[in-house]
């Protein structure tokens, strides 16, 4: 985000958080996880260590004050690169060492004991509000939607470019390295990367690259992150025309995708979308096949903001309304390598694909989405 966009985005986030603080009679909220920090800061926390669950930048929000907290090591860089004060965030720092690190500085800044503060699941604070944080961030701000569209276009471009250059017989890791390089070149981090081919794609739902040649069928799956936002997509390429069985199963999977997308419009609920998914698998002759693979769901400041199965009607997310500004990435599949996935923004009157096929073959959408959907690229 540019400074103006970041300021507007942070202002909207602060308004949401303060509304929740008032309703819940909570004295303050401290955000510590990478996704939550990205959301509240407008992406001021590019990952130094991509494996950590606790960020090197925290955000502390009270009824009247808000700040970002980082180590003394990172303070100068954060100030130079992001100018938190311009977005209305004070900048605090603490030593990189110490058991409580940012817990006590956050509590001192908010003037409240740690046990009386809420957080996104950090054990140093008294109230776990992680689920509430997810609910607050599901509806992307106008500025975050712009960023998600740009990320989605780059994800589709990297994915399709890597597969267009596939020469049958090339090792799967070569395809994967090309995909990752394309993402890194546009500042996106690969969070999930699955690239493989042939029998491994037909046999496994997650056929991770092993360095073997891909001769007939290549699949590439990516979830990429930039500025804290995530976009997901899948593409398939074949040496010549794809096998008939794969083509037939892909048609069935696209019907399942069409049904769950139709049920993901504003005003519906995530439980209704899960029910539509269940009915669609049964309608194409594969009842209960959703149990064979993760089915995806809302996406944004996590690759999956939450995930639940059609059988989990007691899930706290079942009755949650789908609202304008939410993003979804459903992931229906069938055995044999048939898999589809793209990222969509929920609008007032329908869905917008933010990872649309670019220089890629397409087929008509079998449902009500109306835009062409990615087909299998025939190489050679």
CATH classification (class only), 142-379? alpha beta
* 3-class secondary-structure state, position 86: helix
- What is the residue-level pLDDT of the chain in tens, covering all 380 positions? 999 999 999 999 999 999 999 999 999 999 999 999 999 999 999 999 999 999 999 999 999 999 999 999 999 999 999 999 999 999 999 999 986 789 999 999 999 999 999 999 999 999 999 999 999 999 999 999 999 999 999 999 999 999 999 999 999 999 999 999 999 999 999 999 999 999 999 999 999 999 999 999 999 999 999 999 999 999 999 999 999 999 999 999 999 999 999 999 999 999 999 999 999 999 999 999 999 999 999 999 999 999 989 999 999 999 999 999 999 999 999 999 999 999 999 998 899 999 999 889 999 998 877 889 999 999 97
pLDDT score recorded for residue 265: 96
Residues composing the chain: 380
Residue among 215, 221, 151 nearest 186 (CA)? 151
Q: For position 349, what pLDDT does the model report?
A: 85
Tokens for 54? 């606790």
Which pLDDT score is estimated for 98?
80
Tell me whether strands 344-346 and 351-353 are parallel, antiparallel or unpaired. Answer: antiparallel
Helix or strand or coil: residue 324?
A: coil
Q: Give the C-alpha separation, 99 to 61, whole Å.
A: 22
- On whether the CB atoms of residues 359 and 221 are closer than 8 A, the answer is no
Residue with tokens 């990872």: 355
Q: Which two tokens stand for residue 110?
A: 């908010």
Domain range summary for the chain, segments of one domain joined by +: 3-137, 142-379
Q: Is 41 in contact with 67 (CB distance < 8 Å)?
A: no
Q: Considering only CA atoms, which of 57, 36, 112 is closest in space to residue 104?
A: 112
Tell me, what's the pLDDT at 129?
Answer: 98
The residue assigned the tokens 């739902």 is 205
The model's pTM = 0.97
State the DSSP H helix or E strand holding residue 94, giving kind and residue range, or none if neither: strand 90-94
Nearest-angstrom CA–CA distance, 238 and 168: 9
Q: CA–CA separation, 368 vs 262, rounded Å?
A: 7
Is 3-137 CATH 3.40.50.880?
A: no
């Amino acid at each position: 985000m540019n400074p103006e966009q970041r300021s507007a985005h942070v202002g909207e986030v602060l308004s949401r958080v303060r509304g929740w603080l008032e309703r819940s009679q909570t004295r303050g909220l401290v955000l510590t996880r990478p996704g939550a920090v990205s959301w509240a800061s407008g992406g001021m926390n590019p990952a130094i260590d991509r494996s950590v669950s606790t960020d090197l930048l925290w955000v502390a929000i009270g009824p009247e004050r808000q700040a970002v907290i980082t180590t003394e090591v990172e303070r100068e860089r954060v100030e130079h690169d992001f100018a938190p004060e311009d977005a209305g965030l004070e900048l605090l720092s603490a030593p990189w060492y110490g058991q409580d690190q940012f817990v006590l500085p956050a509590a001192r800044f908010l003037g409240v004991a740690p046990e009386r503060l809420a957080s996104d699941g950090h054990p140093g604070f008294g109230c776990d509000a992680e689920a509430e944080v997810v609910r607050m961030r599901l509806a992307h701000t106008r500025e975050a939607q712009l960023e998600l569209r740009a990320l989605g276009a780059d994800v589709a471009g990297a994915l399709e470019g890597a597969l267009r250059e596939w020469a049958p017989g090339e090792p799967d890791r070569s395809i994967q390295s090309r995909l990752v390089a394309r993402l890194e070149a546009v500042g996106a981090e690969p969070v999930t990367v699955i690239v493989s081919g042939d029998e491994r794609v037909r046999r496994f739902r997650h056929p991770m690259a092993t360095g073997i040649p891909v001769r007939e069928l290549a699949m590439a799956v990516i979830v990429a992150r930039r500025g804290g936002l995530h976009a997901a997509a899948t593409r398939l390429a074949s040496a010549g025309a794809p096998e008939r069985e794969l083509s037939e199963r892909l048609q069935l999977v696209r019907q399942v995708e069409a049904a769950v997308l139709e049920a993901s419009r504003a005003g519906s609920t995530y439980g209704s979308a899960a029910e539509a998914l269940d009915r669609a698998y049964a309608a194409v002759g594969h009842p209960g096949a959703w149990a064979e693979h993760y089915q995806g769901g809302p996406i944004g400041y996590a690759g999956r903001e939450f995930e639940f199965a059609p059988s989990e009607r007691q899930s706290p997310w079942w009755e949650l309304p789908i609202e304008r500004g939410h993003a979804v990435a459903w992931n229906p599949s069938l055995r044999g390598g048939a898999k589809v996935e793209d990222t969509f923004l929920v609008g007032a009157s329908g869905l917008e694909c933010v990872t649309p096929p670019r220089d890629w073959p397409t087929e008509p959408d079998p449902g009500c989405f109306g835009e062409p959907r990615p087909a299998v690229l025939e190489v050679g």
